[in-house]
Amino acid sequence: MRAPRWLATSFRSQLVLTTMALTALGMLLVTLGLQLILHRIIEGNLDQVLHDRAGSVQAAVDSASGDTLVVPDGVVEPGVQVYDDRGRAVAGTTWARLRPQMAELSHVTSPRTVAVGEEYRLYARPFTTASGAHGVVVVSESRHAYEEAELYILLTSLAVGVIVVLAVGAVARWVTTRALEPVAQMAERATDWSEHDLGRRFDLGPPTNEISALGATLDGLLERVAMTIRAEQRLTAELAHELRTPLAAIQGSADLALLRGGLNKEARLDLEQIAASSRVMADTITTLLELARTAEAPDAATCRLADVLDAVRPLVPDELVLDDHVADPAIRLAAPRDLVVRALSPVVENAVRHARTRVRLDAVPAASSVEIRVRDDGPGVDASVRDTLFAPGTVGPGGGTGLGLGIARRVARSIGGDVDLADGDGGATFAVRLPRL
């Protein structure tokens, strides 16, 4: 199953995105760790401030008190309360919302720290003066300034993290582009050479690094591709030459016998069939020879779709209805007309052979190709031959072999297209994809 197009990315993009994702994850973990450490430091500093303020108030009260608690003027700051041994406030002021919590802490017997929501922190310390007076000092401190500092540091850390991730992404893209550019160039050259110049090689020397090793591998692949193509062309040409001589003799003998006359009706029909079949085989062999001799034929010429359709329309006999639904026959194809006709003709002939009343032609243009759909209203393709439909020698339930469809696919692929069995409602639908100029 092919991945969705929006998920498809180049290897370079995958490397860059992976690097940025890992960097972002690392920066997030660092930010969280810093925030945790900073929170603990702030909590410790806040407690130290509370302890120091409570200690200074206790020292001032201790020095000024006798049998009763005496709080000197100017010692108690806002947010600090001093309570006697009965829990009565002796001095100090505080915020109204903290009075209930401070009143509860006025009876503690040991130092105690209490958090009031996320806004305030209270610290209560019981004490005894040198003269024996008992009391409790309760100190409060707002957390607002500390939380603002934490927030600013968090935002700064996130901003720095984003900048670092973007910088790492830019560096990763630059590095991967420089590293993979030779590989991309080699791939493009290998593709071009395999289609147009089978003798070219990279020749980077002994494989001393990854690039030269890849070059050696591609050289080997190109050599094997060239050997395979040359062997196929040679075999096709030899077979075609060997077949043309006896085929010409068969056709000539059939034509001479027809010219002599004096034949009964059945013998004449047989000879006419032999002559017609010989001409079809001669056309097929000619196609094979053209494919074998002209490896660069797809780039040698172009044609209009209308010219191709004009050549295949006569293949539909008068007793069948031809539904021509080609909207734009002026489309130009990036292939010679004769080869395109040889790719399309067997498909049309197959539709004529199986159609009951009509054959339909459609053209579906795309950005770089044109798909010609040939549909008939016959019984359709039997399930037993679907997998081997384009294999030479395939015989369907209605008779006929797959030689024509096999050659049609081979010719179409030789010019950068293809022939496939398409889905359709009723009958059989074949899609002939051709390169568009």
Is residue 1 one of the residues assigned to a domain?
no
Is residue 324 one of the residues assigned to a domain?
yes
Per-residue model confidence as pLDDT tens for the chain (437 residues): 444 444 345 777 888 888 899 999 999 999 999 889 988 888 888 888 888 888 888 888 777 766 677 777 777 788 888 888 788 888 888 777 888 888 888 888 888 888 887 788 888 888 888 777 888 888 888 888 888 888 888 899 889 989 999 999 899 888 888 877 777 777 777 666 655 556 666 666 677 667 777 777 777 777 777 787 777 777 777 777 777 778 778 878 888 877 877 778 888 788 888 887 777 777 777 766 666 665 444 445 678 888 888 888 888 888 988 888 887 888 888 888 888 888 888 889 888 988 889 898 988 888 788 888 999 988 888 777 777 777 765 555 455 545 578 888 888 887 888 888 887 667 788 989 988 87
pLDDT at 6: 41
Is residue 222 one of the residues assigned to a domain?
yes
Q: Tokens 């080997």 belong to which residue?
A: 220
* Shared domain check, 135 and 20: yes
pLDDT at 193: 62
Is residue 333 one of the residues assigned to a domain?
yes
pLDDT at 22: 92
* Shared domain check, 334 and 317: yes
Last residue of a domain, one of 275, 293, 311: 293
Distances from the Cα of 229 to the Cα of 115, 195, 220, 362, 390, angstroms: 83, 10, 14, 33, 20
pLDDT at 9: 57
* Shared domain check, 286 and 322: no
Is residue 234 one of the residues assigned to a domain?
yes
Strands 89-93 and 112-116: unpaired
* Shared domain check, 320 and 284: no
What CA–CA distance (Å, rounded) separates 260 from 267? 12
Domain that holds residue 28: 13-148
How many domains are contained in the chain? 3
* Shared domain check, 365 and 341: yes
* Shared domain check, 315 and 417: yes
* DSSP collapsed to 3 states, the chain: CCCCHHHCCCHHHHHHHHHHHHHHHHHHHHHHHHHHHHHHHHHHHHHHHHHHHHHHHHHHHHHHCCCCCCCCCCCCCECEEEEECCCCEEEEECCHHHHHHHHHHCCCCCCEEEEECCCEEEEEEEEECCCCCEEEEEEEEECHHHHHHHHHHHHHHHHHHHHHHHHHHHHHHHHHHHHHHHHHHHHHHHHHHHHHCCCCCCCCCCCCCHHHHHHHHHHHHHHHHHHHHHHHHHHHHHHHHHHHHHHHHHHHHHHHHHHHCCCCHHHHHHHHHHHHHHHHHHHHHHHHHHHHHCCCHHHCCCEEHHHHHHHHHHHCCCCCEEEEECCCCCCEECCCHHHHHHHHHHHHHHHHHHCCCEEEEEEEECCCEEEEEEEECCCCCCHHHCCCCCCCCCECCCCCECHHHHHHHHHHHHCCCEEEEECCCCCCEEEEEEEEC
Whichever domain contains 410, its CATH number is 3.30.565.10
* Shared domain check, 417 and 314: yes
* Shared domain check, 283 and 338: no
Q: Answer left, alpha or beta for residue 350, where phi above 0 means left and psi between -120 and 50 means alpha.
A: alpha
Whichever domain contains 131, its CATH number is 3.30.450
* Shared domain check, 324 and 278: no
Is residue 188 one of the residues assigned to a domain?
no
* Shared domain check, 281 and 358: no
Whichever domain contains 246, its CATH number is 1.10.287.130
Last residue of a domain, one of 244, 263, 293: 293
Is residue 36 one of the residues assigned to a domain?
yes
* Shared domain check, 114 and 26: yes
Is residue 167 one of the residues assigned to a domain?
no
pLDDT at 163: 93
Last residue of a domain, one of 293, 312, 328: 293
* Shared domain check, 402 and 311: yes
